[in-house]
Each structure stands twice: as structure tokens, then as C-alpha cells.
Amino acid sequence: MNRAINRPEAEAVVEKIVELSGDKRYINKTMGVVVLQGEAQAGLIEGQLLERLGAEEMERRRLVCGNPYSFQGDERDIMFLSMVAATNERIGPLAKPADERRFNVAASRARDQMYLFHSVTCDDLSSSCLRRRLLEFFENTQPQEIAGINREELERRASRDNRSVIKPPKPFGSWFEVDVALNLARRGFNVIPQYEIAGKRIDLVIEGGNARLAVECDGDEWHGADQYEEDMLRQRQLERCGWEFFRIRESAFYSNRETALQGLWQALEEREIFPGESRVEYEAKPYENGVDCYEKDYDKADDDIKESDLDPPLASNFKGSDSDRTKRVEEVSISEIQDAILQALSKCPNQTCTKHSMTARVLKELGIVTRGNPRIVFNERVMRSISVLEKQESILTTSHVNEPHPPDEKVLLCKYL
């Protein structure tokens, strides 16, 4: 088994490495080859690479061919895995703990890309075999996309398009943004370009877990003091609503990308934003006994609110006939509604809730229960009050989904701190 070789697979690995070595997109990329069975295959591939690439090029790319332990504690930009196993031999399952450790090392050494070369299908492998699990992972992994653009296509355009003539693909605002987004995507991060929020745009937003980070790509071209002040004002407004920003200067990025992005990787790790994660929707956290705290009790009918739900000073307003409660609704002033909106938001986690739930929150804050047409009229007054507070910059109305016109239940109200 240690002497097993698979010549067609070895030739395919060598051919791909030679191809990528001649691609200017990979000009400074380091490479490594891991064989998943025995060691003879590694020697075969290394010998062919010496003939095709030469020792100097292999040294420059730190190109090592070996088994998983050859890369213990080490990484390369691009990794090539050779499964070796073929249908013309008996394929015993690899399922021991030692095998799992080897496969874990092999599959975690790539920083940017990983290629798997195989001569068998899942049907040829035992369900308990680690080879099958690895192959299924590759087969079930969808091509990565950024804003609906296939990453490979975006990589191709970024390297080949004449940037002085051709504009970056939409929705990107600059080629600088494209290059930063690709650096993030290569590491597996979920990145959204030109993220729209409250009628404004953030260059890039990185999402993962329960957090998100805004990234601004500061180009070297000066657009004037007014534009700069507008950008800073937008950032301050969003920061008051809980957004966090990381800024990257264009000159620093193109001078030394690794240094320019070092702080970004740290910022993402501190916020527990990791590669391969989709962000849990803003309103889905935190949970309390399995119930969404943001919308807890606010989708039920108003007449389901009990006196015990109200603050003691307001509980008396709950009593009386329907006509009495309707009269109290009509007597509420706009200023009282605005105060109740701000008070309700201050009690919400992160001082944020959906626009959809605000009328019920205001009614509860005022200690009033109503239904039917009076409630519809009151809802219109609440919506008008929200518009006034937004113009006063007391609250921010925005969307937590990347849609130009989201429905009300997907609109967030956020109180400025």
C-alpha cells in the first residue's frame, strides 16, 4: 500500500501545477502536494515537477510533495491532494483515528485554494471511509459567489480586464473594492459589496455568526472635503447604531497587502466572524427560552395583552370599556407617541426592533389596548412619528436584508445612542 502509485492522477496534478505557475494570478503563490495513500506517489509527482518546472521554481514556490505529516504546522496558498486509490486495486476503508488526523491535516493546509485529484467515485468507497467523506465535501461544495458573480469569473476579470478602460463589474464601486473582496473570498469569508443601508452604501460588509463588520476602501483619489465629511458623517451615524468599521487605504493595500489586511483578520477574529459562516439574521438573536427576544409577544393580537404585561403606573389605562379605550387612543398626542417610540426602543436588545412591531410596542408603552379601525388609525400616526424621528436623526430606519424595497417586517428601527 505504501508503494501504490496512480500515474494518470500524478500527471494530472503536475499538469495543473504547471498551468497555474504560468498564470500571472498565481505569480507569488506558494504550493504543496499531499498524497493521501503511501509515499511513492509523492516521489513520482516530485520527479515530474523537477523536469517540468525545475528546482529553482519549486524552491521559489516552496513546493513540497509528501504525505500529510510533511505539512504538520505548515501551510501553502494552494494545496493539491492526490487520493491515489483506483478501482483496479482493492480499496480498504480508512476510518481509524490516525487516518482521521492525517486527513484533517491534509484538508486544512490551504490558505486560498485546494484541489482534489481522484480516480474513484463515492460509489467505489465504503460509507465509513474518510476518502468518501472528503470526496462528498468537494462534490457538495457550491462555487463561491460574490454578489451573484462566480468567484472564478471575478478572479479572471480582475487579472485580465484593462482597468484604465473597463469599469469594475457591478455592484462594485472600484477595482480596489474588487481586490479586497477577492482577498476576503479566498479565505472563505462571506462578503457583500456596496451594502445598502438607510439610503447609503458601505463598500464591503463581512458577515458571519452573529456579527458583521463594515469595510471602507479608501481610494487615493481625493474627492474633496465635502465628500470626505459626508463619508465620516455616514460612518458616525451607523456607528451610533452599533455598526463597526475597518478602513483600508488603497496605497497601503497595493504596497503590501499582507500588512494592510493584518488588522482586518484580527478584527474579524475578535468579533467571531469566521470563514464559511453565514450570519444569523440580526433579529434572530439573542434567544430566551427558545423565543426571539426582539419580537417576543408582539405578533399577537392586542387584546391578548394582559394587565400584568403593563407597567404598574399604566395598568389602570387597561381598564374600562372599548369606547373608553378608543377615546384614550384618540387623545394621545404626537409628542407622546414619539416619546413612547424612543422609550420602547431603549428597552429592546441593541435598541433595535422591527418597524412591523412598533405600534404594538407603543400601545404597550402607553398602557392602551385597542383594536379595529382605531388601531389602524393609531398605526398610521405611529408611522408618521417614525418618519419625523428619522428626519430628526433620533432613530435610523434601515433594512437587515440586502433588498432595495424590503417589506415592513424586514425593516429595522434603531435608536441612536
pLDDT at 36: 93
Q: Which residues contact 173 (CB under 8 A, 6 or more apart)?
A: 193, 194, 201, 203
Residue 407 has pLDDT above 60, yes or no: no
C-alpha cell at 387: 418618519
- Is residue 116 pLDDT above 80, yes or no? yes
Domain ranges of the chain: 7-141, 149-280, 287-415
287-415 maps to CATH 2.60.40: no
Higher-pLDDT residue of 331 and 121 is: 121
Which of 25-29, 56-60, 278-282 has the highest average model confidence (pLDDT)?
56-60
Q: Domain 149-280: give its CATH superfamily.
A: VSR Endonuclease (3.40.960.10)
pLDDT at 397 over 50: yes
- 66 or 276, higher pLDDT: 66
Q: How many CB atoms lie within 10 A of CB 377?
A: 13
Mean pLDDT of the chain: 79
Asked whether residue 326 carries a pLDDT value surpassing 90, the answer given is: no
Q: Tell the burial category of 391 from Cβ atoms under 10 Å away from its Cβ (0-12, 13-18, 19+).
A: exposed
Secondary structure class of 239 (helix, strand, coil): helix
pLDDT beyond 50 at 112: yes
Q: Which tops the pLDDT comparison, 188 or 241?
A: 188
DSSP-based three-state secondary structure for 205: strand
Mean pLDDT of 257-281: 79
- pLDDT(10) > 80: yes
DSSP 148-177: TEEHHHHHHHHHHS-TTTSPPPTT-S-HHH
Q: Does residue 31 or residue 407 have the better pLDDT?
A: 31
pLDDT the model gives residue 76: 92
Could you give the CA distance from residue 31 to residue 190 in angstroms, rounded to a whole number?
Answer: 24
Please say whether the beta carbons of 84 and 41 come within 8 A: yes
Q: pLDDT tens digits, residue range 334-392?
A: 888 988 988 888 877 667 777 878 888 888 888 887 767 778 888 888 888 888 888 77
Residues of the chain with pLDDT > 70, as a percent, come to 78
Under CATH, domain 7-141 is a member of which superfamily?
P-loop containing nucleotide triphosphate hydrolases (3.40.50.300)
227 with 200: CB under 8 angstroms?
no
Comparing 137 with 29, which gets the higher pLDDT? 29
Query: Over the stretch 76-101, which tens digit does the pLDDT of each residue have?
Result: 999 999 999 998 888 888 988 888 88
Give, to the nearest 10 degrees, the angle between helix 97-106 and helix 130-140. 30
Strands 395-399, 352-354: pairing is unpaired
pLDDT in tens, 180-228: 999 998 888 889 999 887 677 899 999 886 788 999 998 877 556 677 7
- pTM here? 0.45
Q: If you average pLDDT over residues 392-411, what whole number do you get?
A: 56
Average pLDDT, integer, range 107-122: 90
Tell me which of 85-94, 202-211, 260-269, 297-306 is least confident.
Answer: 297-306
Which is more confident, 130 or 397?
130
Spatial separation of the C-alpha atoms in residues 337 and 125, rounded to whole Å: 67
User: Which residue reads 472600484 in cell numbers?
Assistant: 174
